[in-house]
């Protein structure tokens, strides 16, 4: 990875035209000039020239970014802002003393402990049918304010869309795929793995699971490369058998796994990056139809391509609803949602309102963090007939069947 100084020319290329303001979700929700690329480049220019130095405050401004890349796609100078911010944050971690709060926020052990607690909490919710009670009183809870909205958000994770009912095809398979589940699916959305296995039960692919750690997306985005490379090393140790693919159903995991080769010299990292594919790749040739007519819309994660939308559009029996800003950031981006809660909730709320206005039944997406973002937005709005945010594979497994030729 390049050092901040090596981006000097690119930072200088910013003409201060301000066009990035019109696409930056954080700027639109906060109207803070430091949130937009132009504002951050002003600060980084000062640092590169030696007129400013890294402080916690500078890091706070750099953290005002979901990493959505919208500014890169829109910038007339084609500046890769996210990459530059990551290099700047990596420098911050090298130079500055990290505060106790930052250590806590960066603790991987604590992150896993939180996921484990969430999993236990969600299971208890289901066991005692609290999810149904909360769903019943959802409208009133939202009106009570912050705590009520957070309860509704938590409860949205407890609601199971799908119970697996597949029969595993035990015949010899032509290819071996190692399944990279991702931590949200592993601890919270376990139905996603069941859905993927059901959809691909008849394919010629043997699925193998390993005990992977988190892909490291939030450490990479945060520029905390020490923690990120530690996770790469743990994950590549799991690759002790032959395999044809690493498959993942999470757009963010896919994006990060493909970058492992850039942060590690181990040949296994290069192999992992080269063999990583999305499960949507395996579904491109399969046709599905719904069990009943359904209105669906999509949310395109910032790190996914538009390919999965074609799969959705090709499902027989759906009415595809084109929703405004379907490809704009959902506002939930790891640590960003914790550090900038109000902005994150505002971005998610605007997204959710668009889907409610479009009167769709489902919002289909391919990233577990985006599911949280969409549910966070839906938990901000009290109304009848809200759509359900759902993972693409869970939607197919529950509501569709393959069309046989
Ligand atoms: S759009 Fe690009 S060139 Fe224009 S202000 Fe933003 S970062 Fe600078
Ligand atoms: S990557 Fe997205 S959130 Fe970050 S500055 Fe660019 S447009 Fe704003």
* Closest by CA position to 102, among listed 47, 60, 53, 40: 60
Mean pLDDT computed over 37-65: 94
- pLDDT confidence tier of residue 168, bands split at 50, 70 and 90: low
Question: pLDDT at position 169, please?
Answer: 59
pTM for the whole structure: 0.92
What the block records as the tokens of 352 is 């959710």
Is any ligand 2 atom within 6 A of the Cβ of residue 24? Answer: yes
Is any ligand 2 atom within 6 A of the Cβ of residue 38? Answer: no
Q: Residue 188 in contact with residue 368, Cβ under 8 Å?
A: yes
Residues in the ligand 1 pocket, defined by CB under 6 Å? 14-20, 37-38, 71, 75-77, 79
* Closest by CA position to 80, among listed 137, 10, 28: 10
Residue to mutate, 71, 78, 84, 85, ligand 1, most ligand atoms under 8 Å from C-beta: 71
d(C-alpha 172, C-alpha 184), whole Å: 31
Residue to mutate, 10, 25, 347, 348, ligand 2, most ligand atoms under 8 Å from C-beta: 25
What the block records as the tokens of 123 is 């299971």
Q: What 3-state DSSP class applies to 28?
A: helix
Question: pLDDT at position 193, please?
Answer: 86
Is any ligand 2 atom within 6 A of the Cβ of residue 34? Answer: no
Percent share of the chain, pLDDT over 90: 76
- pLDDT confidence tier of residue 73, bands split at 50, 70 and 90: confident
What is the whole-number distance in angstroms between the Cα of residue 244 and the centre of ligand 1?
Answer: 42
Whether residue 163 is predicted with pLDDT greater than 80 in this model: the reply is no
Ligand positioned closest to the Cα atom of 35: 2
CA-68 nearest atom, ligand 2: 2
For the chain, what is the mean pLDDT? 92
Show Cβ contacts of residue 310 under 8 Å, excluding neighbours closer than 6 positions.
284
d(C-alpha 126, C-alpha 132), whole Å: 8
What is the whole-number distance in angstroms between the Cα of residue 21 and the centre of ligand 2?
Answer: 9
Beta bridge pairs of residue 176 = 206
What is the whole-number distance in angstroms between the Cα of residue 50 and the centre of ligand 2?
Answer: 25
Domains and CATH numbers, the chain: 4-95 (1.10.1060.10), 105-158 (no CATH), 175-282 (1.20.1050.140), 285-402 (3.40.50)
Is any ligand 2 atom within 6 A of the Cβ of residue 68? Answer: yes
Question: pLDDT at position 204, please?
Answer: 84
Question: pLDDT at position 165, please?
Answer: 67
Q: Which residues of 284-311 are buried (b: 16+ CB within 10 A; e: fewer)?
A: eeeebebeeebebbbbbbbbbeeebbeb
Question: pLDDT at position 262, please?
Answer: 94
Question: pLDDT at position 17, please?
Answer: 94
Whether residue 170 is predicted with pLDDT greater than 70 in this model: the reply is no
Mean pLDDT computed over 280-303: 92
Whether residue 373 is predicted with pLDDT greater than 90 in this model: the reply is yes
Beta bridge pairs of residue 208 = 178
Q: Residue 77 in contact with residue 14, Cβ under 8 Å?
A: yes
Residues 88-144 pLDDT 10s: 999 999 999 888 888 888 899 999 999 999 999 999 999 999 999 999 999 999 999
Residues 285-294 pLDDT 10s: 888 999 999 9
Mean pLDDT computed over 156-175: 73
How far out from the chain centre does Cα 128 lie?
A: 30
What is the whole-number distance in angstroms between the Cα of residue 35 and the centre of ligand 2?
Answer: 8
Ligand positioned closest to the Cα atom of 347: 2
Whether residue 162 is predicted with pLDDT greater than 80 in this model: the reply is no
- pLDDT confidence tier of residue 240, bands split at 50, 70 and 90: confident
What is the whole-number distance in angstroms between the Cα of residue 197 and the centre of ligand 2?
Answer: 35
Mean pLDDT computed over 46-53: 94
Q: Residue 341 in contact with residue 277, Cβ under 8 Å?
A: no
Ligand positioned closest to the Cα atom of 85: 2
Is any ligand 2 atom within 6 A of the Cβ of residue 23? Answer: yes
Residues 304-356 pLDDT 10s: 888 899 999 999 999 999 999 999 999 998 889 989 999 999 999 999 999 99
Is any ligand 2 atom within 6 A of the Cβ of residue 81? Answer: yes
Mean pLDDT computed over 51-58: 93
| Positive or negative torsion for Cα 64, 114, 162, 401 | positive
Look at strands 400-402 and 288-298 and give their pairing.
antiparallel
Mean pLDDT computed over 3-20: 93
Q: Specify the range with the lowest mean pLDDT, choosing from 32-41, 198-207, 224-233, 372-381.
A: 198-207
Whether residue 1 is predicted with pLDDT greater than 80 in this model: the reply is no
- Compute φ and ψ for 402, nearest 5 degrees: -65, 145
Question: pLDDT at position 228, please?
Answer: 96
User: For atom 4 of ligand 1, which residue has the closest CA?
Assistant: 17
Whether residue 167 is predicted with pLDDT greater than 70 in this model: the reply is no
Q: At what angle do helices 108-127 and 146-158 cross, to 10 degrees?
A: 80
User: For atom 3 of ligand 2, which residue has the closest CA?
Assistant: 65
Q: At what angle do helices 368-378 and 341-357 cross, to 10 degrees?
A: 80
- pLDDT confidence tier of residue 166, bands split at 50, 70 and 90: low
d(C-alpha 329, C-alpha 300), whole Å: 8
Q: How many Cβ atoms are within 10 Å of 209's Cβ, its own excluded?
A: 13
Among left, alpha and beta (phi > 0; psi -120 to 50; other), residue 317 is left
Question: pLDDT at position 205, please?
Answer: 86
Q: Residue 253 in contact with residue 180, Cβ under 8 Å?
A: yes
Output the CA torsion 9→73→391→209 (10° steps): -40
User: For atom 6 of ligand 1, which residue has the closest CA?
Assistant: 20
d(C-alpha 247, C-alpha 234), whole Å: 18
Q: Which has the higher per-residue pLDDT, 346 or 280?
A: 346
User: For atom 8 of ligand 2, which residue has the closest CA?
Assistant: 24
Residue holding tokens 């391509």?
305
User: For atom 7 of ligand 2, which residue has the closest CA?
Assistant: 24
For every residue of 196-227, DSSP letters joined together read HHHHTTTSSEEEEE-------HHHHHHT-HHH
Q: Specify the range with the lowest mean pLDDT, choosing from 103-107, 214-218, 272-276, 390-394.
A: 103-107
Give the helix ranges, DSSP H, for 22-80: 25-30, 37-48, 56-62, 70-74
Residue to mutate, 20, 34, 84, ligand 1, most ligand atoms under 8 Å from C-beta: 20
User: For atom 3 of ligand 1, which residue has the closest CA?
Assistant: 14
Q: At what angle do helices 368-378 and 146-158 cross, to 10 degrees?
A: 140
d(C-alpha 156, C-alpha 177), whole Å: 31
Question: pLDDT at position 304, please?
Answer: 86
- pLDDT confidence tier of residue 239, bands split at 50, 70 and 90: very high
């Amino acid at each position: 990875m390049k050092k901040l100084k090596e981006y000097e020319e690119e930072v200088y290329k910013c003409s201060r035209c301000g066009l990035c303001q019109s696409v930056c979700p954080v700027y639109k929700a906060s109207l803070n000039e430091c949130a937009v690329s132009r504002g951050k480049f002003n600060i980084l220019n000062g640092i590169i020239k030696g007129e400013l130095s890294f402080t916690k405050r500078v890091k706070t401004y750099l953290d005002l970014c979901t990493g959505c890349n919208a500014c890169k796609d829109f910038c007339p100078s084609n500046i890769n802002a996210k990459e530059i911010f990551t290099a700047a944050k990596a420098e911050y971690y090298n130079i500055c003393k990290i505060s106790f709060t930052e250590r806590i926020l960066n603790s991987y052990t604590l992150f896993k402990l939180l996921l484990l607690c969430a999993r236990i909490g969600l299971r208890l919710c289901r066991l005692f049918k609290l999810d149904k009670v909360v769903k019943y009183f959802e409208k009133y809870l939202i009106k009570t304010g912050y705590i009520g909205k957070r309860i509704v958000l938590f409860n949205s994770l407890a609601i199971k869309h799908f119970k697996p009912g597949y029969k595993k095809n035990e015949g010899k398979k032509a290819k071996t795929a190692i399944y990279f589940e991702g931590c949200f699916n592993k601890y919270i959305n376990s139905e996603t793995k069941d859905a993927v296995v059901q959809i691909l039960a008849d394919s010629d692919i043997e699925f193998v699971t390993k005990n992977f750690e988190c892909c490291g997306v939030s450490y990479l985005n945060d520029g905390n490369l020490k923690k990120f490379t530690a996770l790469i090393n743990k994950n590549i140790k799991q690759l002790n058998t032959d395999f044809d693919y690493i498959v993942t159903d999470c757009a963010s995991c896919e994006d990060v796994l493909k970058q492992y080769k850039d942060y590690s010299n181990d040949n296994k990292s290069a192999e992992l990056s080269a063999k990583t594919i999305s499960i949507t790749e395996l579904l491109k040739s399969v046709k599905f139809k719904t069990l009943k007519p359904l209105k669906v819309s999509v949310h395109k994660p910032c790190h996914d391509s538009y390919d999965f939308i074609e799969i959705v559009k090709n499902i027989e029996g759906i009415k595809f609803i084109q929703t405004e800003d379907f490809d704009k950031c959902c506002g939930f981006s790891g640590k960003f949602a914790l550090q900038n809660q109000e902005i994150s909730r505002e971005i998610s709320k605007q997204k959710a309102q668009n889907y409610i206005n479009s009167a769709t039944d489902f919002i289909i997406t391919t990233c577990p963090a985006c599911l949280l973002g969409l549910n966070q937005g839906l938990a901000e709005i009290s109304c009848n007939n809200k759509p359900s945010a759902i993972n693409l594979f869970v939607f197919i497994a529950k509501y569709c069947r393959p069309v046989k030729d």
